[in-house]
Amino acid sequence: MRIQALLNTFVFCALALGGAAAAYADDVRLLVRHEVADYAAWRKVYNSVAPLQKKMGVFFKDVYVSAENPNDVTIIQDFHSLEEAKAFMASPELRASMTKAGVKPPAQVWITTKGAK
């Protein structure tokens, strides 16, 4: 289990430092990891909230699942400001969709900005 924890830490560091889309210097990357009851059911709900994501400032998003547990989900979402990311996380619509999707608490959440070179 300790190896799994180390691998999870490595994955999060890799995603935060060099995800698939380059963020601008002021951009914010939100990383959320949680377990879901059923990935296929969760994914349908996640896909249905795409308009909410766009409305609230998400300009890039991606989903990863654990190689050992497909119900262990990591989501990356990029915003142009910290305020947008925080407002999105506090959104009642997001909370309701997470409940509907079968998200199991607690979620691990990281909000990052691009580091100086």
What percent of the chain has a predicted confidence (pLDDT) above 70? 78
Judged against a pLDDT cut of 90, whether residue 106 lies above it is answered with yes
Contact between 28 and 113 under an 8 Å Cβ cutoff? The reply is yes
**Domain CATH number, residue 7:** 3.30.70.100
pLDDT in tens, 41-96: 999 999 999 999 999 999 999 999 999 999 999 999 999 999 999 999 999 999 99
CA distances from 58 to 51, 76, 87 (A): 10, 10, 11
Residue 76 lies in domain:
2-113
What's the number of domains the chain is made of? 1
